[in-house]
């Protein structure tokens, strides 16, 4: 998954691109009295992409499959360029230890 996320970030031409992914697992067990009626397990995955182009607004797109990740990076970039913002949005300065393209939280 890290390779896929890193590749999607590398292809983005925006000034700022952020990808967040969440994977959850759940189990449900149903009893009627002492009798097991049902037992199910499931896994869900999804996330969101947030993009900012200089002079544009935030572009945000969500996905429920990593197969849609690159399309959603493109869509978020399109949305960011759609609305010009004046004065432009300025991001905070990077802390030392943070690179432009990182796959993990920056050290504080």
0.75 exceeded by the pTM?
Answer: no
Nearest partner of 76 among 52, 53, 55, 60, judged by Cα: 60
The range of the structural domain enclosing residue 44 comes to: 2-82
Count CA atoms within 13 Å of residue 90 on its CB side: 3
Quick check: is 76 in a domain? yes
Q: Count of domains in the chain?
A: 1
List the chain pLDDT tens, one digit each, 108 residues: 889 999 999 999 999 999 999 999 999 999 999 999 999 999 999 999 999 999 999 999 999 999 999 999 999 999 999 988 888 888 888 776 655 555 455 443
Quick check: is 32 in a domain? yes
Nearest partner of 92 among 14, 28, 16, judged by Cα: 16
């Amino acid at each position: 998954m890290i390779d896929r996320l890193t590749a999607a970030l590398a292809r983005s031409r925006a000034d700022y691109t952020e990808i967040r992914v969440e994977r959850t697992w759940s189990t449900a067990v149903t009893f009627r009295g002492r009798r097991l009626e049902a037992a199910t397990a499931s896994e869900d995955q999804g996330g969101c992409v947030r993009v900012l182009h200089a002079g544009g607004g935030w572009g945000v797109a969500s996905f429920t499959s990593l197969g849609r990740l690159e399309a959603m990076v493109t869509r978020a970039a399109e949305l960011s360029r759609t609305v010009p913002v004046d004065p432009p949005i300025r991001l905070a300065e990077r802390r030392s230890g943070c690179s432009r393209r990182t796959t993990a939280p920056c050290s504080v």
